[in-house]
Amino acid sequence: MKLYYSPGACSLASHIVLAESGATYSVERADIRAKKTETGADFTAISPRGAVPVLVLEDGEVLTEGVAIMQFVADSVTPGKLPAPGTLARARLQEALNFVSTEVHKTYSPFFRGLEGAAKEAQIALLNSRLALVEAKLADGREYLLGADFTPADAYLFTVTNWSKGIGHDLSAFSLLQALRARIAGRPAVQAAMKAEGLLK
């Protein structure tokens, strides 16, 4: 398998899940603005949308969208690691992944288009309201987003909340989220993925 990524982008979550799985895989950086990979290939020929993550399978099949990639990797490389399809536990995982995707990731996205003034303040308030829901979820003392076990939802939440620093967003009001982030950051697979992307020395 080969993962196309952009350093620190949402593709980091898929990179983390690959590292956690123990799968044999390679990675290649993609410049999502120039639409070229680090070897000079036309990235739109690999993924017409020109966005990361992209996972190319051994048979040449191309899979996009992080939520799909993360579940596919876990299910195919480590069967039984995730809750079985059709169970409430699996629905809870999908619920969490979709919440991070639609309510957290997409709330960060406008900041990368140069928000300023009142518009930025309003977007920060919206982001804080979403993160407050995560903080409330963690208030029962759970180790990870869904309970005792690390899941792709944690990888995804960690990845997108990393963006707070770059946009000048203060996470200090969310002590439980910060503790969760620290637990995730300490995992060897997370450190390996971040080092591979040049995010850690």
Tell me the per-residue pLDDT of 4-61, one tens digit each, with 9 for 90 and over.
999 999 999 999 999 999 999 999 999 999 999 999 999 999 999 999 999 999 999 9
In order of start, what are the domains of the chain with their CATH numbers? 2-80+189-196 (3.40.30.10), 88-187 (1.20.1050.10)
Give 49-59 pLDDT, tens digit per residue.
Answer: 999 999 999 99
**Which residues, at least 6 apart from 28, have a Cβ–Cβ distance to it below 8 Å?**
2, 3, 4, 5, 37, 38, 39
Q: Give the count of beta carbons closer than 10 Å to the beta carbon of residue 13.
A: 29
Note the pTM of the prediction, 2 decimals. Answer: 0.96
| Confidence band, pLDDT 50/70/90 cuts, at residue 201 | confident
* Phi-psi category of residue 157: left, alpha or beta, with phi > 0 → left and psi -120 to 50 → alpha: alpha
Under a CB-based contact definition with an 8 Å cutoff, are residues 52 and 4 in contact? Answer: yes
Query: Pseudo-torsion of CA 153, 102, 84, 81, nearest 10°?
Result: -20
Residue 81 binned pLDDT confidence (cut-offs 50, 70, 90): very high
Q: Per-residue pLDDT tens for 102-123?
A: 999 999 999 999 899 999 999 9
Closest listed residue to residue 97, CA positions, set 179, 17, 199, 6: 17
